[in-house]
A = this chain, B = another copy of it.
């Protein structure tokens, strides 16, 4: 109920992007966004990639047509918040705030005010970097902070999951698992932190952004086509992913890069294989992506050990994981071919001598197909900030 209070309440947060090393692909329940398998991701550093979201609410919003309904402005453009996913997040967050208000009548009735959210990414949407994960994590975190909810990040991940499955993993920093859960109502399908960023300080990621790639099949639609039509998919969820999850957690705990890398590459291959086995087939990787695979293989062969791991999401961009001490073979080799594109960090390049050349055909594909790179590392979960967008 309107209290005559025209105060504008607000809370801002930044939230990270995460890149899965054991992929989420397939829902067992579309409405609740419950997955067919567990997944595990690396949270990327917010210095390089982050969503900043300010969540605000006010009784006064109700009095003006532009703000009387919930709204979200993303990178300056109004977003549709009427969809089931965003509504599920708002509804659940409001429910928890309303419970606090019912228990303490002195609390302002924020749950009853329209919400006005403003959000900005510090990376281009055209980079195809799964900004919905960062976006929904920021939305949930910001509104939770606005509402002063006592819920843990794990409990908030339950809500973020309903906005966008992989968003639940962006509620934490470092290395994050999304446990598939068993409950029909999804009350145990949530994220937890496997290890914090500082656990493995040398981990780095190099993103190779494929230029102007046409948007492929949406993840939500694609994964359900895979569930429905891929004859090989059953084996992935029954056997391959559970094994990969166990191996990946162990590799992270032990800081075993060779094991981390092998599981990362094999899980990416497995995921894309089930996409290719879908009917009609889904092809997210293109010849440029495959050139990146060959480049990583060549770098590892030259080094005589595994120093780089590729992984691909639902798009042609390559994310290459490596350790800082192996910057020369990894960054050096890619920089030798892609030195002209934006994104290289001069301070990292200084002193790196390229130690090898890539196959001509591979180099040509990379040169023609990669429009920019992003050099980053592993970072923290959502961070409260006083930088407000309204």
Q: Which residues of chain B are near A239, meaning CB under 8 Å?
A: 231
Q: Which residues of chain B are near A280, meaning CB under 8 Å?
A: 293, 297
Q: Closest B-chain residue to A293, C-beta based?
A: B281
Chain A stretch 211-260: residues in CB contact (< 8 A) with chain B: 214, 230-232, 234-236, 239-240, 243
Chain A interface size range: 20 to 34
Which secondary structure dominates where chain A touches chain B? helix
Distance of A306 Cα from B16 Cα, bound (Å): 45
> Is B269's CB under 8 angstroms from A277's CB?
yes
Distance of A78 Cα from B134 Cα, bound (Å): 63
Closest Cβ of chain B to A202, distance in Å, is 25
* Given A287-B287, A293-B281; A234-B231 close (CB under 8 Å): no
Q: Which of B234, B269, B283, B290 contacts A235 (CB 8 A)?
A: B234
Q: Closest B-chain residue to A240, C-beta based?
A: B231
The reply on A358 being an interface residue by CB < 8 A is no
Distance of A262 Cα from B234 Cα, bound (Å): 20
A347-378 to B contact mask, C-beta < 8 Å, 1/0: 00000000000000100000000000000000
Closest Cβ of chain B to A220, distance in Å, is 21
A282-317 to B contact mask, C-beta < 8 Å, 1/0: 010011001001000100000000000000000000
Q: Which of B231, B270, B279, B287 contacts A277 (CB 8 A)?
A: B270
The reply on A388 being an interface residue by CB < 8 A is no
The reply on A389 being an interface residue by CB < 8 A is no
Number of copies: 2
Q: Closest B-chain residue to A300, C-beta based?
A: B280
* Given A239-B231, A270-B231, A361-B214; A290-B279 close (CB under 8 Å): no
> Is A270's CB under 8 angstroms from B214's CB?
no
> Is A236's CB under 8 angstroms from B231's CB?
yes
Q: Which residues of chain B are near A290, meaning CB under 8 Å?
A: 283, 286
Distance of A290 Cα from B297 Cα, bound (Å): 23
The reply on A273 being an interface residue by CB < 8 A is yes
The reply on A96 being an interface residue by CB < 8 A is no
Distance of A262 Cα from B236 Cα, bound (Å): 23
Q: Which of B234, B266, B274 contacts A273 (CB 8 A)?
A: B274
Q: Closest B-chain residue to A280, C-beta based?
A: B297
Distance of A297 Cα from B281 Cα, bound (Å): 10
Q: Closest B-chain residue to A214, C-beta based?
A: B361
The reply on A93 being an interface residue by CB < 8 A is no
* Given A232-B232, A235-B235, A236-B232; A276-B279 close (CB under 8 Å): no
Q: Closest B-chain residue to A234, C-beta based?
A: B235
The reply on A272 being an interface residue by CB < 8 A is yes
Q: Which residues of chain B are near A232, meaning CB under 8 Å?
A: 232, 235-236, 240, 270, 273-274, 277
Distance of A276 Cα from B279 Cα, bound (Å): 16
Q: Which residues of chain B are near A214, meaning CB under 8 Å?
A: 361
The reply on A44 being an interface residue by CB < 8 A is no
The reply on A265 being an interface residue by CB < 8 A is yes
Q: Closest B-chain residue to A297, C-beta based?
A: B280
**13 contacts across the A-B interface (CB closer than 8 A):** A214-B361, A231-B235, A231-B240, A231-B243, A232-B273, A232-B274, A232-B277, A234-B235, A262-B279, A269-B277, A273-B273, A280-B293, A286-B287
Pairs A-B, 10 closest by C-beta atoms: A273-B277, A235-B235, A231-B240, A232-B232, A273-B273, A273-B276, A287-B287, A269-B281, A232-B235, A283-B290
